[in-house]
Structures are given as C-alpha cells and as structure tokens.
Amino acid sequence: MATKKEQPIILITNDDGITAPGIKNLIEAARTLGKVVVVAPDKAQSGMGHAITIGTSLRMDKVDMFDGIEAWQTSGTPVDCVKLAVDKILHRKPDLCISGINHGANHSINVIYSGTMSAAMEASIESIPSIGFSLLDYKYDADFTAARFYANKIIKTVLANKLDKHLLLNVNIPSIPKKEIKGIKICKQAYAKYKEEFDERIDPHGKKYYWLTGEFINFDTAEDTDVLALQNNYVSVVPVQFDLTNYKLKKLLEKKKLFK
Amino acid sequence: MATKKEQPIILITNDDGITAPGIKNLIEAARTLGKVVVVAPDKAQSGMGHAITIGTSLRMDKVDMFDGIEAWQTSGTPVDCVKLAVDKILHRKPDLCISGINHGANHSINVIYSGTMSAAMEASIESIPSIGFSLLDYKYDADFTAARFYANKIIKTVLANKLDKHLLLNVNIPSIPKKEIKGIKICKQAYAKYKEEFDERIDPHGKKYYWLTGEFINFDTAEDTDVLALQNNYVSVVPVQFDLTNYKLKKLLEKKKLFK
C-alpha cells in the first residue's frame, strides 16, 4: 500500500482494446490521482467473460500512446492483462485496478459476460480493490464527459477510504449530458436476461451460419436495482463479490438430505 | 416441463469439446434418465469462462458419434452451445442441462474461469435447472467410473425433486476408486486463488513470450468448503447463484454515504 509520500499505483485495463476511446477517457479520469500504468488487450475482447489464455502463449509489448503514461498491450484477455501486470510489469499489487470505460452497458446480468468486469473481478480475487466502469453507449465516438467526471469522483472516494481489500464495484453511467445526471445510487444487480434469437443465414456455398442476437428483458421490479437507477438518470454502483455460493439453496439441500 | 408420459429432455454440453471422453461418460450417466440431446463445442474451450461469440458468426453441424443420441457440434463457446440448443435445436427449454464431465477440478474459485460451469450457469439464467460435473483428473484417459456413478445419482435426484427453477450445482468428484469415495457433501465455494507466475521464454526470433502458470492456494479454513470435502474423499456439491451483488458491502456503502 502507498505511504503518504508515495502516490498510489493505479492499474488500468479494459476489454475494448487499448485503442478504444473509453480507456483514454479512464486514463484522463485517473491520471491526477496516482501513478497510472496501463496494461490492456491489443484488440477488442468484448463478451470474453472471465476467459484466460491456457492453450496458447501470450505476447506483451510496450506502447507509447498516452502522453507520459507507461502502457503495455498484450495478446491476452482482460483477465490475462491483470495477471501479467501484477507478475511482469508492476512486480507488486497496485493500490487500485480500474477497468473500462466500457463502450456499452454492463449492468444487471451483463456482469457475467463482461470482460471489463472480469478484469476487475480478477484484481479483486488478488486482494486489489477494483472498479469497472461502463458507459451506456456502444458508439466509438460516444461522449465520455459525464463518465470521466463520475469515474474521477468514484476513484477518488475509493482511494481515500479503505473499505474492503476485495472491494469490487460495477459502475454504469447513463448516456446523457452531465447536468442531467441526478447523482450516484448504490444498487443491487437487477435480475434480467437476454432473450436470444440467432439470425440464421446461408453462406455463398449454401451452408447455414448463425449470428447471436438478443433482446434485453428486465424481470426485476425491486426499487434498488441498477437498471432502475440508470433509467432514472443515476449512475449505478453495484458492489460485486466472487463467492458464488447460493447459501439459501445450500441450507435447503442440507435440510432435505436428498443426496445421502 | 415433462408430463408423466413424457421423458424429461436433458441437454448435455461441455467445454473440453465434443470428442472428449468426459462428455461420453456424462451421456452414459444420463441416457437412461431422459431424452438426451448433445450440443457441444467442436474443439476444447477450457478457461473460456462465460465468453460468448459476438464478433464472428457461428457454425453448427449434426454429428453421429453417440449411438442413438442426437448430437451437434458448434464453433462456439460452451455458453453459445446452450443458447444455440434452446433457440435452434430444441425450440424449447430442456428439463435439465448438464455440463461436463470436465477433465480437471472446477472447485472453489475455478467456478469463475470454468467453461463447464459457465454453460451450466447460462442454462440457470434461462430458468433451466443445471449441473456442472468435473473430475479431479486432467488426463485424457482418466477413469470416469466413480464420476459416472455419482453423476447418475445426482441427475436422478435433481430430476425427481423440483427444488428451484434456477437450480445450479457445481459438482466435483475426487479422482479415486469408487469404493474409496465416502459420499456426497453439500459445500460452499472455498476462498482460494491461483498465485500466478508467467513462464517467460524467448522465441527463435529473439522476442519474449509468456505462458500462464499458477500455483493453487486455499485460504479457506471453514469446515464446509468444497476443497476440504474433496480432500476428505467426498463428492462436493456447491449450489451456485448468478446474483453477484455483495449485499454486505452494499449496506456498508449505503450507510457511509461516501458517494453523495
């Protein structure tokens, strides 16, 4: 951990790749708050979930893209980037890991599929406080003004408060002008899913192929969900954990003794 | 859901690929318990986590590999397989989805990285009761005798008891002879992680490349963890959920009002 004299070390990664505008905006949001080091994928890795690279080896190259900021691109997934950063670049744990700013929402069930959040979760498993940021706008040229402002505010708050060594926050920012955002809401993950439909097509050789498409459906009517907060023009902050045990079901199964 | 006259439909997938011995053993464990349909990746997908295929299209081909069993291989991830099966093969939800039998452990933190468990989790999100099975033996020619026996027992129990529409179980089977297994234990996910070290090498052109390696470390001293149950020669069953909200931290953050 940083002493008073030292700046905190902030590791930045993402899943849209090192050339995505979102990561540049996250660097801007964080660079005055500590010593920023960037280790990010050399290409887009959206939807990679918590994938790691086992079957192939990895490449990592230093890049000079962000004025005065040490930055590396790797051939790996977002999770690989965090592992490589700790073991090969920093040779220590950073004081904070931030991931994003993702081009597109990672609220509700998206936390499961998101490479942005998986990178943050990997850091959290490693006892590195961590935050994933996502803007509800998929466009390359999205306006990150409000996202940058709220990212800075949340990073500053997390650095100033020792809350939990496994602290992991999923932050989503609505795609509206900064002045229309009503503030920050602490939320739970909404129970929602995608209703999949595959778009079936025929290739020039007469063979079928499929594109994944899906319609988002929110089933959760609770008042403290991230989906509702975002609909009401709040920035949503969901504290996330990596213990996936369903303790309620555990108790039920223990009581019923079905597997004896 | 199946009526009394109908057999339950059991969807089988895995992450080691459709040619892996583990899936063949899972088919053997399930084929007398319902109408089995196999939709699995055409190649190994270990460590894919909850990856989905967005940037490329998917292929799916019928294969005749398992005597009398309808089977399809796809170019997608384990999660893609579940989505494709429901939308394009079954045209309905199966009564149960089972994934595996994985060649290698998926206890404790492995649930996060595992393609086997992500396929099962995808089904659970879709309100399909689901079970992931893993044998603690990475070898291709591992002995699945005990695993097959316990898979059959657990599948039978789950089909006979309506427990939860999102039921999701992470089952790990120790790699020992069946007669040495002491029974089944309902467990929680142990808090454990991998201490990563990248093996740095130099390619024939003088450039560095890296292989991910890691040493497993269990930090959890509780008596109800999956790691301990497996060490004590039990089959471990961890009920898993996809709501990742850290409710304890949510309450703390709400109380502290740090982000106001």
CATH number of A9-187+225-242: 3.40.1210.10
pLDDT of residue A214 exceeding 90: no
CA distance B6 to A29: 59
What does the pLDDT look like over A66-110, one tens digit per residue?
999 999 999 999 999 999 999 999 999 999 999 999 999 999 999
CA distance B125 to B128: 7
- Contact, B214 vs B194, CB < 8 A? yes
Pairing of strands B208-218, B192-202: antiparallel
pLDDT of residue B44 exceeding 60: yes
Task: Tell which A residues from 224 to 253 touch B, by Cβ distance under 8 Å.
Answer: 237-247, 249-250, 252-253
* ipTM of this predicted structure: 0.90
Mean confidence (pLDDT) of chain A? 93
Please state which of the four CATH numbers 3.40.1210.10, 3.40.50.1110, 2.40.170.20, 1.10.3210.10 is assigned to the domain occupying B9-190+223-256.
Answer: 3.40.1210.10
pLDDT of residue B24 exceeding 90: yes
What does the pLDDT look like over B65-113, one tens digit per residue?
999 999 999 999 999 999 999 999 999 999 999 999 999 999 999 998 8
Of B46, B79, B157, which is closest to A54 when you measure between CB atoms? B46
The answer to whether the peptide bond before residue B128 is cis (omega within 30 degrees of 0) is: no
Domain ranges of chain A: 9-187+225-242
CA distance B126 to A196: 10
pLDDT of residue B64 exceeding 80: yes
CB contact under 8 A, B249 and A200: no
**pLDDT above 70 coverage of chain A, percent:** 96
Supply the pTM of this predicted model: 0.91
Indicate the pLDDT class of residue B51, thresholds 50, 70 and 90.
confident
Report the candidate in A116, A178, A140, A145 with the shortest Cα–Cα distance to residue A25: A145
CB contact under 8 A, A86 and B196: yes
CB atoms within 10 A of CB A66: 17
Mean pLDDT of B222-246: 97
For residue A205 the two structure tokens come to 């050789």
Indicate the pLDDT class of residue B47, thresholds 50, 70 and 90.
low
What does the pLDDT look like over A118-133, one tens digit per residue?
999 999 999 999 999 9
Q: With an 8 Å Cβ cutoff, is B181 touching chain A?
A: no
Mean pLDDT of B172-195: 96
- Contact, A92 vs A99, CB < 8 A? no
For residue B88 the two structure tokens come to 């394009």
Nearby residues of A95 by Cβ (< 8 Å), 6 or more positions away? A1, A2, A8, A9, A10, A34, A128, A129, A159
pLDDT of residue A3 exceeding 60: no
pLDDT of residue B195 exceeding 90: no
Residues of B in contact with A249 (CB under 8 A): 163-164, 167, 239, 241
For residue B111 the two structure tokens come to 């649930």
